[in-house]
Amino acid sequence: RKRTMFQKIVDESKTYDSATAWTEYLSLETTKKEVVMAMMMTACDLSAITKPWEVQSKVRCLIMRKGQQKKKKIDTHKPMMDRRKAAELPKLQVGFIDFVCTFVYKEFSRFHEEIQPMLDGLLNNRNEWKTRADEYDAKIKALEEEKKKEEERMAAKR
């Protein structure tokens, strides 16, 4: 619901001739202002995903470590923070970027074009994660094919 509202707010902002007029209007519209502020907080929370790849990948490692520390305290935690699922991390990251992050930064870049470099960084990082996810999938497929061939060889010997 908030996504749709935010898209409509961004669309509406484009109908104003000046940023000042839009800001004055938005300051009087409490609900719309709250939606924009909530999306801004979300964008802030997600900002690490927009950083240059070298920084973003290090942040990801720190989050994994934090997940391990949390795991010692409680039994449930997010798969993205689970070291046992580290090999699946690229695929998890692509999904997270696609279903959560891209919307936020795409809409904010429409709202304020100064945000475009953050969207570009996000998309670059998505490509990096996608490359790693594809490499992992190819390795898994090769292992499965090798296992199948071995099973066929064993069955043929019987």
Residue 120: give the domain boundaries: 47-157
> Number of C-alpha atoms within 13 angstroms, CB side, residue 114?
1
pLDDT tens, residue by residue, 7-30: 999 999 999 999 999 999 999 999
In angstroms, the CA 89 to CA 121 distance is 19
Instruction: For residues 32 and 92, state if they share a domain.
Output: no
- pTM for the predicted model, two decimal places: 0.78
Instruction: For residues 112 and 144, state if they share a domain.
Output: yes
pLDDT tens, residue by residue, 66-108: 666 666 666 555 655 555 677 888 999 999 999 999 999 999 9
User: Above 60 in pLDDT, residue 119?
Assistant: yes
Instruction: For residues 67 and 132, state if they share a domain.
Output: yes
Cα–Cα distances in Å, from 79 out to 87, 123, 132? 11, 22, 17
The residue count for the chain? 158
Using an 8 Å Cβ cutoff, are 4 and 35 in contact?
no
Count of structural domains, the chain: 2
Among 53, 69, 73, 71, CA closest to 120: 53
